[in-house]
Amino acid sequence: MATHEIQVTVNGAGHQLKVESRLLLVHLLRESLRLTGTHIGCDTTHCGACTVLLDGEPVKSCTVLAVQADGAAITTVEGLEQNGKLHPIQEAFWEKHGLQCGYCTPGMMMTGCALLARDKDPSEADIRQAISGNLCRCTGYSNIVKAIKAAAEQLRQQ
């Protein structure tokens, strides 16, 4: 069984880990690091529940090998809150009822954060396009779009 020493920075903290070649990034996060905020939904690259930021880009962590992330900086939903204060996107999902069951929410918020990092004032169409790889089966998306829009406003005021 092939194993590799890898180094990853997750939510700002460095980790040195010994991983099997076939270990998926989502399992590294959930099982090796016990960061279970990143969900596994379809496990087939469709639903986006497992979305995390890999060097700032949102990716489906069920379709990335942990070894491919060697040397990378990863942000998960646990990394959004800073000093006990929720990130504006978390506040906005709460405020705008951007979730019902909550299963897709971590992935939605990570995709939303990445969008707002490169576009401070996205249109509704931009938001819908950005989250088109994240499936929600409860909300009908309207409140998710409103939440990302509200978070954009909040971030612009900061």
Partner 1 sequence: MIPPAFDYHAPTSLPEAIALLSRFGESAKVLSGGQSLLPLLKLRLGAAEHLVDIGRIPGLEYVREEGNFLRIGGRTRESVLERSDLVRERYPILLDTARVIADPLVRNRATVGGNLAHGDPANDHPATMLALRAEVVAQGPQGERVIPIDQFFTGLFATALAADEILTEIRIPVPPNRTGGAYVKLERKVGDYATAAAAAQVTLDASGVFQRVGLALTNAGPVPARAAAAEDFLSGRRVNEGSIAEAARRAAAAASPTADRRGSVEYKREMARVLAARALKKAVERAGGR
Among 9, 20, 36, 78, binds partner 1 (CB under 8 A): 20
Among 11, 38, 51, 139, binds partner 1 (CB under 8 A): 51
**Angular region, 32: left φ>0, alpha ψ -120 to 50, beta rest:** alpha
Rounded to a whole number, what is the distance in angstroms from the first to the last CA of the chain?
50
Position 125 contacts partner 1 (CB under 8 A)? no
Contact 15, 29 (CB under 8 A): no
Q: Which amino acid is located at 62 in the chain? A: C
Position 134 contacts partner 1 (CB under 8 A)? yes
* Residues found near partner 1 in the complex (CB under 8 A): 1-2, 4, 20-24, 27, 43-46, 48, 51, 54, 57-60, 63-65, 67-68, 70, 111, 129-130, 132-134
